[in-house]
């Protein structure tokens, strides 16, 4: 992990990925692990508030809104958010966020979907409220390793008690690929979240593909955790 700890990907580099279509992390059909473990996130409850950190144009935001849940996402790329609405032909209005300089909020007018275009670190519970559930796929593994503690501290302030947080991390040899996505070992999940959450590893999935082979890797796993907020 030491080889990745100093790695920094700038906001401009993320924006460029969207501009050039270099978004291999986006799943057109949605994520199979969310489909499989949706009940674990929802626990039979309706009308939940669900947070998508670093949401991109995740199709699962529409799935959950179609089920009657309220979805809030944050993403630095305005292009990604506009593509989300256009690809699902969802109407929306755009408004400034007075509390955050330069930020915009894209509000769907036919579903309960609010997407903020800004840095995630600009959000606060006073602005967006608290959440019953989080789908964190491609977010913790995308933030710069030096910012992880800051990220987790923010996420904890956004969670209701008894909320469910589904977290997907990736496992591979960090000496062979510099990231992102960054390798986050289970020991680090425990040190980051352990004081506030019960942590259960639900599944490990072999997700190795030609893309990972081109990165120089010989294995690539997705690891799904359920974090339950107890404090």
Annotated binding site for S-adenosyl-L-methionine: 14-25, 54, 75, 119-120, 137
* CA nearest neighbour of 228 among 34, 31, 32, 43: 43
Q: Transcribe 90-130 into DSSP letters.
A: --EEEEE-TTSTT-EEEEESSSSEEEEES-GGG--HHHH--
Q: How far apart are CA 226 and CA 134, in angstroms?
A: 10
CA angle 162, 59, 161 (to 5 degrees): 10
Would you list which residues are annotated within the binding site? 14-25, 54, 75, 119-120, 137
């Amino acid at each position: 992990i030491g080889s990745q700890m100093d790695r920094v990907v700038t906001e401009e580099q993320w924006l460029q990925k969207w501009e050039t279509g270099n978004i291999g992390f986006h799943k057109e059909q949605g994520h199979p692990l969310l489909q499989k473990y949706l009940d674990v996130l929802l626990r039979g409850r309706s009308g939940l508030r669900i947070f998508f950190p670093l949401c991109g144009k995740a199709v699962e935001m529409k799935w959950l809104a179609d089920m009657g849940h309220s979805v809030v996402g944050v993403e630095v790329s305005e292009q990604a958010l506009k593509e989300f609405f256009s690809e699902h032909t969802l109407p929306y209005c755009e408004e400034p966020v007075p509390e955050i300089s330069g930020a915009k909020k894209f509000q769907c007018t036919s579903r309960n979907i609010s997407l903020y275009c800004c840095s995630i670190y600009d959000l606060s519970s006073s602005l967006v409220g608290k959440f019953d559930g989080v789908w964190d796929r491609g977010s913790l593994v995308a933030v710069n390793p030096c910012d992880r503690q800051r990220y987790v501290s923010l996420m904890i302030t956004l969670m209701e008690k008894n909320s469910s947080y589904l977290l997907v991390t990736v496992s591979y040899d960090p000496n062979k690929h510099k990231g992102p996505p960054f390798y986050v070992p289970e020991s680090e999940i425990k040190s980051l979240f352990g004081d506030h959450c019960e942590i259960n590893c639900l599944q490990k999935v072999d997700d190795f593909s030609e893309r990972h082979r081109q990165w120089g890797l010989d294995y690539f796993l997705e690891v799904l955790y359920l974090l339950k907020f107890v404090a």
